[in-house]
Each structure stands twice: as structure tokens, then as C-alpha cells.
Chain A
Amino acid sequence: MKSRLRFTLQLSFTLIVCLFMIVPVAMSVLAGLTENYFVGLQSGLTLRWVNEVWELYSDTIWLSIKLALACLLITTLIGVPAAYGLLRSRRRWANAIEELLLLPVAVPGLATALALLLAYGSYREFRGSWLFILIGHVLFTLPFMVRAVLSVMQTAKLPQLEEAAASLGASFRQRFFSVVIPNCMSGILAGALMVITLSIGEFNITWMLHTPLTKTLPVGLADSYASMRLEIGSAYTLIFLVMVVPLLVAIQWAGRLTEQRR
């Protein structure tokens, strides 16, 4: 009986915390679909605000997607070899380098952005292009790709597999593409999902680096929160959630996938 009571109390507390997490999200979703939030639900449900957001901000969504994909491409191209390099380096070196690569995550995005602005902001064309933001996103997401790939590489006993492939006559290139890459695919997948999710949601760096012509989704969000009516901000948030929640589900699924491999 006593343990029953304890369970109930613990569950109630957990439920309260859940409410704290979910209520504002639910309210925001609702507000984005309500005709007039002042009046309340009786004013009726509508997609009018979503449409309006699409008209006002669709370019920010496309830019965010473009950025996320470009960011994914670059982090994969430089992150997978980097993870392999770390795997192959001496432990002390690998730790030091990993710590270095982690700095853009450990240090607040605001500081990274400021550093980039002060160093490269004077190159007008570069500063005004979306590539400037891309740099920030790559710095910020790269460690997540490296870490995801490296952790799979470590559990996959890659050095042994490579030795086996070499003993059968495989050159370095053949080993890398037939053994290394296929065996850390789950890590690349997990890293890729993480990179896309983080890139789409990145605000702290992007806000400092954006120009009126290079607004991303979160920048647009901040913009709408500050200057638009609540329904529009909510509808915009709703669009963001629709984009990000599937990614989060996929991340969880990928995480389970790599866990099973272990």
C-alpha cells in the first residue's frame, strides 16, 4: 500500500512537470489556429494565419532548409574524415583536438558570431551572403557529427576490420569505402539528423550574422514575435514544430538503432 502511494505521488509530480512542458506548446499551437486569440476558441479555427505566415516568411523557411542541407553536406565531408582521423590518432592528441573542435559549442553562439563578424565582417560580399551564416552553422554543428560518427567507429572495432580487409588485399581507398563508411553509417545518420535539427533551430549565431536579405526561420520567428500579432507568431511556431518534430522522432529512432548495434 505504501509503495502504491509513493508511486502515485511520484507519478503526479512527473505529470505536473509534463504539463509545464506541454501546456505552452499546446497553447501556441491552438493560438496559431484560432481566428482571434483574444476572443478565444469560440471565434473559430482557421488556417488563415498559417497562410499569412507562408506569404510573409516562406523565404526564411527555404533559406533554413538550404542552409541545413549545405551544412549537412559540409559537416559530412569534413566531419567523417575528421572522426576517422581522431580514431587513428594517439589518444592524447585525439582528446586535445576534439576539445578544440568542441569550443564553438562550449562558448556561447553570441561570442562566436561576434568573433566572426569582427574578423570577416568587412568583406562586404561575403558578409551579405548566406555563406556567412553557413560558416557559423558548420562550426556549431561539426562537433555533433564528429562525435556521433566517432562513437560508432569506436564500438565497431574498426581498426580490426580494416586490418582484416587489408590482409585480403584492400588498399586504403578500398578499405575506407567498403569497410569504414558502411560500418559507421548509423553514426553518420544520427549525426546528420542532429546537424539538420540544430541548423534549422540555430538562433544565437544566426541572429548576429543575418542581414535583411538572409533571414532564417528562427530569425523570422524572433521577428514575428516582436512585431506581429500573437496568432501569426503562433502559426509560425506551429510551422517550425511541424518541421522539427519529425526530425526529433527520427533522432530517437536512430539512437535506438545505434544502441542495438552495440
Chain B
Amino acid sequence: MKAASKQPLGAASFSTRWMVLTVPVRHKSLVAVLALMPALIVFCAFWLLPFSRLILMGAEADRSSGVSAYLTILTHRQYLISIVTTVGISLVVSLTAVAIAGFVGFFLARQHFWGKAVLVAILTFPLAFPGVVVGFLVIMLGGRQGALAQSSLWLFGERWMFAYSLAGLFIGYLYFSIPRVITTVMAACDNLDKSLEEAARSLGANTWQVTKDVIVPGIAPALLSTGAICFATSMGAFGTAFTLGTRLNILPLNIYGEFTNYANFAMAAALSVVLGAITWIALSIARRLAGGNLGASA
């Protein structure tokens, strides 16, 4: 513990000195700097510094190819396919989730009927389920003794399964994406200026035209941002993939495999950096577009 905190302290004091110099030295900003200090020290010591090392480590020689791991990724089909698969499935999941949950979220935000609160609760509570649990729920749906297998056994005499394939992954990702989209869309609909809608109606727009011209443009930033969050979450959804099977060729599992099975630290680091870069870019775009929500767990 003692040795561990040596380097980071240096890093933190550097960053604060730098701030004091730039911000005009007034009493107020001094208070701000002091208040931010503990959080920044923790962040620099335990995230910024380790992650910088991770980035450097990715440039070291890969165990099998002997060249820089970043370069190896670019030249080996196996890694490229894994990246493309992960990005692809995450994209499809995000689009599907935004379409389905966008519709449901809008419906729930605008309609009032008995029992609505229960539906909203059912649709939003899985928000905090960790990835492993979601993976297990997929097994409950599409595993050997899952709902689908049982009903197909009863109807057709054979067990249908999808849990341990990309389809299972897709269902799992969809499962944790839907609540995110629904909460965001409902909040966006609530914040929508009602008078815009009324103005459109007063000008003679029908329901469909109001939806197309006022509502969808109004919640578009929210849709884009929540879509990006779903994308980023799916990209890094290690827990779900881990529960469903380690044979799938997607990035989180590859990273895990390189690290634990082959002790190929350079490659694990390089793949992590690539994964981190992709999700960070997606989320930055999302925040720029909507400025709201944080990314979240899965």
C-alpha cells in the first residue's frame, strides 16, 4: 500500500500545480482546487496512471507474433473479426433496443391507464442487474432447461436452444439495453415542451404529423445518446458473455482469454485499449449530443 501510493502522489501534485497556474489565483478557485484534490488524486493514482501504462504496454511485443501488439491486431484476421463482430452485434442491439424501447417508452410517457406504474417498474428495474445475472436470465429463456426448450419439447418433441450462441448474446444485450432506453425516452418525453405540440395541433397537424415533425425531432438527441450508451455497454459487456460461454469470439472474452489463458499481457492490454477507445468515442459523441446520462454497468 505504501509503495503503491508513491508515484501517483507525484502525478497529482503535478496536475494541481498546473491548475493553480492557469486559473487566476483567487480565494474561490483555491477552494475549488482543494475540494477537487482528493478525487483527482484517487483518479490519477488508480486510473490515469495505470491506464497510461496499459496503453504503453499494448505497444510491447506480442507473445506469439513478436511484433507490437497493436500491429498484430491490425494484421491478424482473428482479432479483426473479433472487433468487427463485437462492434456489429453492439450496433444491431442498440438499434433494435432504440426502436423497440423508444416506441414503448413513448407510449408509456403519453398514455395513462390503470396499472401503468407496474409496467414501468417491470421495464426499468432490470437496469441494475449485473451482466452475469442477465446472462443467467438468458439461460433461463434459451438454455437447455429454458422456457423455449421446454415449450418446444412439449410442442415438437425437441429442445430448441439459443443461449450459448451469438443469438443468446444478442438477447442478453437487448435485455439490459431496453430499460436504459425506456427510462431515457420517458424522461425526454416528459421534458418535451407541451406547447410545441399544442402549437402544431393548432396549425392543423394530425397525430402522425405531430409525431413526425415535433416529437421525434424533440427526443432525437435522447434517442441518439441512449443508443450510444447501449452500444458502449454492449461493447464491454463481459459478464453476460462470460456466463453464456467462453467460446464466443468477441472482444471482452478475447481480452480475458489472452490475459488468463495465454498470459499474453501485451495483447490483452492492446485489445483493452482498442475496446476502451471505441466505447469512449461512442460515449463522448453521445454526451455531446445530449449532455445528460452517464454510461452504466452491465
Contacts and interface: CB of A to CB of B under 8 A. Distances in A.
Nearest to A123: B4
Contacts of B136: 28, 221, 225, 233, 237
Contact of A108 (B43, B135, B276): B276
Contact of B103 (A13, A99, A114, A146): A13
A123 B1 contact: yes
B130 A97 contact: no
A224 to B, nearest CB: 9
Interface residue tally on A, bucketed by range: 35 or more
A116 interface: yes
B19 A93 contact: yes
Contacts of A212: none
Contacts of A115: 47, 50-51, 53-54, 272
Interface string B250-267: 001001100100000100
B273 to A, nearest CB: 7
B101 A17 contact: yes
Main SS at interface, chain A: helix
Given A14-B107, A119-B53, A207-B239, A114 B259 contact: yes
Interface of B: 1, 3-4, 19, 23, 28-29, 31-40, 42-43, 46-51, 53-54, 57, 100-101, 103-104, 107-108, 111, 113, 119, 122-133, 135-141, 145, 147, 175, 178-179, 232, 235-236, 238-239, 242-243, 252, 255-256, 259, 265, 268-269, 272-273, 275-276, 279-280, 283-284, 287, 294-298
20 contacts: A21-B123, A24-B138, A27-B140, A27-B141, A78-B42, A85-B32, A85-B35, A89-B23, A104-B47, A106-B276, A110-B238, A110-B275, A114-B268, A118-B265, A119-B50, A139-B43, A197-B128, A218-B132, A218-B239, A245-B125
